[in-house]
Amino acid sequence: MMWFIIVCLAIIFVIKVLQDWRRPRLFPPGPRGLPIVGNILDVKRLVDETKFYSHAWCRLADIYGPIVGLKLGIAEPLIIVSGKDAVIEMMSRPQFDGRPNECIHRLRTGGKRRGVLFTDGDVWRDQRRFILRTLKEFGFGNVTMEDMILNDAVSLTTTIESLGKLGPISNLYNITSIAVLNSLWTLVAGSRYELENPKLTEILSVVNEIVRNTNVTGGILTHLPFLRHIIPGLIGFTTLSQKWARMWQFIRSEVTTHKQTRTHGEFRDFIDVYLAEMDTKQSSSSVSSFNEEQLISVVKDLFSAGVETTNNTIGFIITYLTVKQDVQKKVHEEIDRVLGKEILPRVVYKNRMPYLNATIAEVMRVANVGPTSIPHRAMADSILLGYEIKKNYTLLANLRSVHMDEQHWGDPKKFRPERFINDNGDYVEDPWLIPFGIGHRKCLGESMARNSVFLFTACLLQKFQFTLPPGHPDPILDGVDGFTIAPPDLNVVAIKRK
């Protein structure tokens, strides 16, 4: 009898495996894969060959077309969407505005779905609306914000000048990351940090390690999540949990300090306003998503998303201009013509600096700091370009495929800012450049990110010429893969301009 039960269970298991392996009739095309593990080995092989997940997605698009279906372990299918038309179609449709709800996404916010990056529905809408309204009241996107960014940019140039006198600078990424964070942190927590602050340096290092060691597919923790109960150390679950916990504790301590020092009716920053909103919601009888864990998660999202992509973009600008001295020279000439040596850059001067705008745009296009969207989730059964996308499928918009489309750009691998300059010498935006995404889930900090990148870049290049040390090999400009793409490790010589 026992053997009969075992055989029956084995048959049921095999049938289930084969059913999962079989592709439905309208499932998007893609590599066949293997039972249980699906396409994990196919993706690994492509990433080993191309060195980047985003390059692997482009390779799959070349083979199978704009909509590619992958099955990675026991997770819901992953749909890679490539090419401008398909990307715009997917990111513009509200039924694809959800976020996946895997263990790795819950892990980053205390074990539950919280925050604004990886939530959807009413919670996401309420939190996003509150964030935008509150940050705007504290200067988000206006002159007050510009002054903060400029103060941090000027402090950064002073630090770089001091370090530059000692020789090549090897940790420029860490220095700029604190400067970039300070403006946002002033709005969020009402305080600024010195560029050498050890506490913040440690947390930024934690964020950097997490981003470098994760990818948008979620990795093995999403593909085969049960392994975290069996071999948590081997698959990186233990280390990742510890790093997220350290960041959680850092922000919790900031919230605790605010609770102890705030004055009723007075608002110093975003955290104070959020705490007041919590009080208001709790005094009413309505169910609310505003609580302390949600606050920590929101600040965590602002902290990590607000620093990583902006800082990486600035890092890539310095990297490209260090290598492309002819482009750097043209930027210097434009800055000297418009600003001179003493006038601080301002957003009001932006339209008078087409070549700097074009250079920033070209770096955003070719570096692809965010080569894909953050994962989306189908919130209902849908059809996308003739293929069936079932509820809870995960979708990735392959932004790199748009930015490197040969038919549109002609020579996409060539670094050429002039592609954004028209015959009259004006900067012209190209609708094919979408580094912040599109649709309802596009980056909520786009305006601040654009202003930060412009002001920091203008300040740095007004004061310095960046070169490679003598004998330094040319860096590989592709950067370092992770959840986002980081600039390559680089030693730079910062020469103060006369």
- Listed ranges 20-24, 273-277, 397-401; the one with the highest mean pLDDT: 397-401
The CA distance from 327 to 361, in Å, is 13
User: Per residue, what are the HEC states of the chain?
Assistant: CHHHHHHHHHHHHHHHHHHHHCCCCCCCCCCCCECCCECHHHHHHHHHHHCCHHHHHHHHHHHHCCEEEECECCCCCEEEEECHHHHHHHHHCHHHCECCCCHHHHHCCCCCCCCCCCCCHHHHHHHHHHHHHHHHHCCCCCHHHHHHHHHHHHHHHHHHHHHHCCCCECCHHHHHHHHHHHHHHHHHHCCCCCCCCHHHHHHHHHHHHHHHCCCCCCCHHHHCHHHHHCCCCCCCHHHHHHHHHHHHHHHHHHHHHHHHHCCCCCCCCHHHHHHHHHHHHHHCCCCCCCCHHHHHHHHHHHHHHHHHHHHHHHHHHHHHHHHCHHHHHHHHHHHHHHCCCCCCCCHHHHHHCHHHHHHHHHHHHHHCCCCECCCEECCCCEEECCEEECCCCEEEEEHHHHHCCHHHHCCCCCCCHHHHECCCCCECCCCCCCCCCCCCCCCCCHHHHHHHHHHHHHHHHHHEEEECCCCCCCCCCCCECCCCCECCCCCEEEEECC
Q: Mind listing the pLDDT tens digit for each residue in 160-185?
A: 999 999 999 987 888 888 888 888 88
Q: Considering only CA atoms, which of 259, 302, 243 is closest in space to residue 115?
A: 302
Is it the case that residue 218 has pLDDT exceeding 60?
A: yes
Q: Tell how strand 394-398 and strand 78-82 pair up.
A: parallel
Q: Mind listing the pLDDT tens digit for each residue in 231-284?
A: 999 989 999 999 999 999 999 999 999 999 999 888 989 999 999 999 988 877
The type of residue at 162 is S
Q: Considering only CA atoms, which of 445, 491, 446, 432 is closest in space to residue 466?
A: 491
Q: What is the mean pLDDT of residues 132-140?
A: 82
β-bridge mates for residue 466, sequence order:
494
459 marked as binding residue: no
The CA distance from 172 to 498, in Å, is 22
The CA distance from 416 to 11, in Å, is 60
CB 251 within 8 A of CB 306: no
Structure tokens at 359: 């250079």
Helix axes 292-323, 325-338, angle to 10 degrees: 110
Q: What is the mean pLDDT of the chain?
A: 91
Structure tokens at 204: 């930024």
Q: Mind listing the pLDDT tens digit for each residue in 40-79?
A: 999 999 999 999 999 999 999 999 999 999 999 999 999 9
Q: Mind listing the pLDDT tens digit for each residue in 310-364?
A: 999 999 999 999 999 999 999 999 999 999 998 999 999 999 999 999 999 999 9
Residue 22 binned pLDDT confidence (cut-offs 50, 70, 90)? low
Is it the case that residue 141 has pLDDT exceeding 80?
A: no
Q: What is the mean pLDDT of residues 203-214?
A: 86
pLDDT number for residue 182: 86
The CA distance from 420 to 146, in Å, is 25
pLDDT-wise least confident of 133-142, 148-157, 351-360: 133-142
Can you give the length of the chain in residues? 498
Structure tokens at 243: 């790093």
The verdict on pTM exceeding 0.85 is yes
**Largest alpha-carbon pair distance within the chain?**
90
- The proportion of the chain whose per-residue pLDDT surpasses 90, expressed as a percent, equals 70
The CA distance from 389 to 314, in Å, is 37
Residue 293 binned pLDDT confidence (cut-offs 50, 70, 90)? very high
pLDDT number for residue 190: 86
pLDDT number for residue 4: 58
